[in-house]
Amino acid sequence: MLTSSALVLMMTGPGLALFYGGLVRKKNVLGTMMQSFVLMAVVTVLWALFSYSLSFGPGNSFIGGLQNVFLKGVGAAPDADYAPTIPAQTFMVYQLMFAIITPALIAGAFAERMKFSAMLLFTVLWSIVVYDPMAHMVWGKGGLLNAALGGRFPTLDFAGGTVVHITSGVSALVCALYLGKRLGYPKEQMPPHSVVLSFIGACMLWVGWFGFNAGSALAAGSLATSAFVATHFAAASAAVGWAAAEWMRNGKPSVLGAISGAVAGLVAITPASGFVKPMPALAIGLIAGVFCYWMVAKVKARFGYDDSLDAFGVHGAGGTLGALLTGVFAVSVVNPIFKDAQGNPLPSGMFEGNAHQLLNQLLGVGIAWFLGIVGTLAILKLVDVTIGLRVSEEEELQGLDLSQHGEEGYYWETSA
Amino acid sequence: MTKIEAVIQNSKLEAVKTALQEIGVEGMTVLEVRGHGRQKGHTEVYRGREYSVDLIPKTKIEMVLPDALVEKAEQAILNAARTGKIGDGKIFRSRIDEAIRIRNDERGEGAL
């Protein structure tokens, strides 16, 4: 579990930092990486002080309480409800890594134009107002949607399709629309300054995702293995799907497309990873690869929003797709999440005979969308009227690295 | 004294350098540039968006030569750099008013 925690942290730094960093223009590489890195620090502090308590402390259906502020009661003894074989502290620090990467994903939508101070304030508030409630509802004791702990509307979300990807992806869309397009978009050409960096980041994301999904089994064993296999298979088939779609449409499969496809598959399998068998995982990946390619290459262009790094197209759309497909393909033989009064497993998903689960998935998806939209809008408005969201025009032209951080990413022109 | 500026294909740099050294050219400056004459660029696609690249990477060699060496140098460049296709590049010749060696203030053709 500690290894899984480390892997998930690595997904943010340097995984996501590199993946996003390579996609932006050279003058914004550090600013973009900083957006990931600073959250590793800031979200950790929030988590330690009170965010863990709000997410996983006992509370009501929507939010945790304050019993575990300053991590009181979170020590060596396991929390029997959450993970009976590991210390509560292990569970806490594992969940922290999810809380870190979720807001970091949103940065993809406001890349290259958000003030650093505004981004800090936004993500602190977002973490508390959107992430903590969603995490609580799906994974916390008493949570409305908690499938493992008797929530009223159990939503199957093994590792965070709704909690992580839909909330961040939908919030990203709201941010992109609210902040508006980058100067010069879409006429001016803004190709990725380093697909090499993005490639390295994406590979780290693929490997790190084993910690994200397999680790969500919260113990070594057959469920962790099943989730590991499903994760890997979905990444693979999605990479093939996106690359094939590009090959057919553009005549050449791009490296950026292949790695984006893998990420899309990993996003989609996230909620399903601990519930589906390997062949459906392949199918989920393939569908996600093609679907997210279409979202990014066609839908975004048609509607004209500047979701700069496709946070909505990959995470919002991929997460929604994955959450719904989880309801289709989940089987109790992989994970007997629903049991009758005698303890016998009940059907999990539609193909097993529980079509009703799709409604619960839809509800979970809907709540994630709702929280993402409403929470984000409110926070954006607040930050906008207090400190302002966007950098000035000069700062945007100069680039975030210099204007926000006083640095250059590559100081190659003038060497000593 | 005459300045020769040659914009050539990147792949021809080694051949041109060797040819110039063989005829006795001792100094040159090499720059990585981008540009185009009549050569068309190409299109790249990232995440479904097309980017047209019409400034093509080229290599520019600059040298200031004694007048006696100029024609031989130009011929050497032409032979080494030519492929016969559009994009081979161009040579420009201009007069130089003065050349000064920084180390010892030597001037004129002796400074070359």
Q: What was the pLDDT predicted at B53?
A: 87
| Residue partners of A18: CB distance under 8 A and separation at least 6 | A33, A197, A198, A200, A201, A204
- Which two structure tokens, joined as six digits, stand for A54? 């709000």
Q: How far apart are CA A47 and CA A38, in angstroms?
A: 14
Sign of the CA dihedral A416, B4, B7, B11?
negative
Radius of gyration of chain B (CA): 17
Phi and psi at B29, nearest 5°, equal -120, 135
- Which two structure tokens, joined as six digits, stand for A253? 């499969």
Confidence of residue A315 (pLDDT cuts 50, 70, 90): very high
A-chain CB neighbours of B51 within 8 Å are: 189, 191
Q: What was the pLDDT predicted at B37?
A: 86
Smallest CA–CA separation between B66 and chain A, in Å?
Answer: 32
What percentage of chain A has pLDDT greater than the value 70?
Answer: 99
Question: Are A168 and A369 contacting, i.e. CB atoms less than 8 angstroms apart?
Answer: no
Mean pLDDT for A193-218 is: 98
**Helices H, strands E: what count in chain A?**
17, 0
Confidence of residue B26 (pLDDT cuts 50, 70, 90): confident
Q: What was the pLDDT predicted at A327?
A: 97
Amino acid identity of residue B89, one-letter, is G
Q: What was the pLDDT predicted at A230?
A: 98
Each residue of A120-162: pLDDT tens digit?
999 999 999 999 999 999 999 999 999 999 899 999 999 999 9
Please tell me which of the candidates A191, A252, A298 has its beta carbon nearest to residue B48.
A298
pLDDT exceeds 90 at position A393: yes
pLDDT exceeds 60 at position A415: no
> pTM to 2 decimals?
0.92
| B49 CB within 8 Å of a chain A CB | yes
Q: What was the pLDDT predicted at A413?
A: 66
Burial class (CB in 10 A: 0-12, 13-18, 19+), A112: buried
Predicted complex ipTM exceeds 0.90: no
pLDDT exceeds 60 at position B39: yes
Question: Are A250 and A189 contacting, i.e. CB atoms less than 8 angstroms apart?
Answer: no
Supply the DSSP string of A265-288, one letter for each residue. Answer: HHHHHHHHTTTS-HHHHHHHHHHH
Q: Which CATH class is domain B2-111?
A: alpha beta
Q: Which residue is closest to B54 within chain A, CA to CA?
A: A189
Q: What was the pLDDT predicted at A412?
A: 77
Smallest CA–CA separation between B55 and chain A, in Å?
Answer: 13
Provide the edge-to-edge strand list for the sheet that holds B56-65: B29-35, B56-65, B2-8, B89-95
Mean pLDDT for A70-83 is: 97
Average confidence score pLDDT of chain B? 94
Stronger pLDDT, A416 or A119, i.e. the higher one = A119
Rounded to a whole number of angstroms, the distance between the first and last alpha carbons of chain B is: 9
| A157: helix, strand or coil | coil
| B52 CB within 8 Å of a chain A CB | yes
Least confident window among A304-308, A410-414, B105-109: A410-414
Average confidence score pLDDT of chain A? 97
| Residue partners of A414: CB distance under 8 A and separation at least 6 | none
Question: Are A42 and A12 contacting, i.e. CB atoms less than 8 angstroms apart?
Answer: no
Spell out the domain ranges in chain A: 2-64+85-405
B-chain CB neighbours of A254 within 8 Å are: 45-46
DSSP-assigned beta bridge partners for residue A100 = none
pLDDT exceeds 80 at position A80: yes
From residue A31, give the alpha-carbon distance in Å to each of A26, A140, A260, A309, B95: 10, 34, 22, 14, 48
| Residue partners of A209: CB distance under 8 A and separation at least 6 | A7, A11, A231, A235, A266, A270
Q: What was the pLDDT predicted at A416?
A: 53
- Which two structure tokens, joined as six digits, stand for A76? 């060596």
Q: What was the pLDDT predicted at A386?
A: 98
B-chain CB neighbours of A310 within 8 Å are: 47
Cα angle A294, A216, A227 (rounded to 5 degrees) comes to 60
Mean pLDDT for B67-87 is: 96
Does CATH place domain A2-64+85-405 in 3.40.50.2300?
no
Q: What was the pLDDT predicted at A290?
A: 98
Question: Are A134 and A163 contacting, i.e. CB atoms less than 8 angstroms apart?
Answer: yes
| A115 CB within 8 Å of a chain B CB | no
Mean pLDDT for A247-265 is: 96
Spell out the domain ranges in chain B: 2-111
